Chain A
Amino acid sequence: QKEVEQNSGPLSVPEGAIASLNCTYSDRGSQSFFWYRQYSGKSPELIMFIYSNGDKEDGRFTAQLNKASQYVSLLIRDSQPSDSATYLCAVKTQGGSEKLVFGKGTKLTVNP
């Protein structure tokens, strides 16, 4: 069973702080890694993906990947109340399958 684990949270940070969301995965052959944001009552939306070791930055978001440690993270700088949502980590595993395995999500609250 290929698993994706996220820190369960909830995570609460003050406005302007850095929020750090973490994810580990069990399949060492996993190829691509995704972060989705889901507001309450809404559908998930893709905010970042990464497939090479290191950092990938997009605006206030930075995804970090360490394949040796089977670890992927999402940093949100200058957190805003509008960032309050559940963040889902997803992994595309090896073998040519197009399926994504999702973690259970971490709920983030940014306090004004």
Chain B
Amino acid sequence: DAGITQSPRHKVTETGTPVTLRCHQTENHRYMYWYRQDPGHGLRLIHYSYGVKDTDKGEVSDGYSVSRSKTEDFLLTLESATSSQTSVYFCAISDPFETGLEGYGYTFGSGTRLTVV
């Protein structure tokens, strides 16, 4: 996906280990988001950021932390991975001030498939 990359694309980790997923954008968008997608649950917001060092929790934030030290990078950390955190993680970006439209939308990264064994 142009302008937004996620790394790694796939990861297998063991229960109890810390894991960090990275989202990098070149669009200079103000807002960044981390979602997880699971069968039967759809996309659920974990954390989001509305600027450097400005972050807030989403609906499923327990067990996750984030950091944004510069505009282009938004990191998601699983403090101590559990099997329930096996999922596909998507990063997304947006910036209504760029588009000038009320009806802007997100651009998603390609996703990270995380398996916790």
Closest-by-CB residue of B relative to A86 is B42
Given A43-B1, A43-B108, A50-B103, A99:B58 Cβ within 8 A: yes
* B103 and A49 within 8 A (CB): yes
Closest-by-CB residue of B relative to A45 is B108
Closest-by-CB residue of B relative to A104 is B42
Interface positions of A (Cβ within 8 A of B): 31-32, 34, 36, 42-46, 49-51, 88, 90, 98-105
* A105 and B50 within 8 A (CB): no
A46 to chain B minimum Cβ distance, whole angstroms, is: 4
* A88 and B43 within 8 A (CB): yes
B24-47 interface bits toward A, Cβ cutoff 8 Å, 1 = contact, 0 = none: 000000010101000011111100
Q: How far is the CA of A49 from the CA of B99 in the complex (A)?
A: 13
Closest-by-CB residue of A relative to B90 is A43
For residue B86, CB closer than 8 A to chain A, the reply is no
> How many B residues, CB 8 Å from partner?
26
* Closest CB pairs A-B (n = 6): A104-B42, A43-B108, A46-B105, A102-B43, A49-B103, A32-B103
Interface positions of B (Cβ within 8 A of A): 1, 31, 33, 35, 40-45, 48, 50, 58, 90, 94, 96, 102-111
Q: How far is the CA of A101 from the CA of B43 in the complex (A)?
A: 8
Q: How far is the CA of A103 from the CA of B42 in the complex (A)?
A: 6
Q: How far is the CA of A34 from the CA of B1 in the complex (A)?
A: 19
Name the one of A34, A99, A104 contacting B33, with C-beta atoms under 8 angstroms. Answer: A99
B57 to chain A minimum Cβ distance, whole angstroms, is: 11
Which B residues lie within 8 Å of A105 (CB)? 42
* A43 and B58 within 8 A (CB): no
Q: List 9 A-B contacts (CB under 8 A).
A: A34-B103, A43-B90, A44-B106, A49-B103, A51-B103, A88-B42, A90-B105, A99-B48, A102-B42
* B111 and A98 within 8 A (CB): no
Given A32-B102, A49-B103, A51-B103, A44:B1 Cβ within 8 A: no
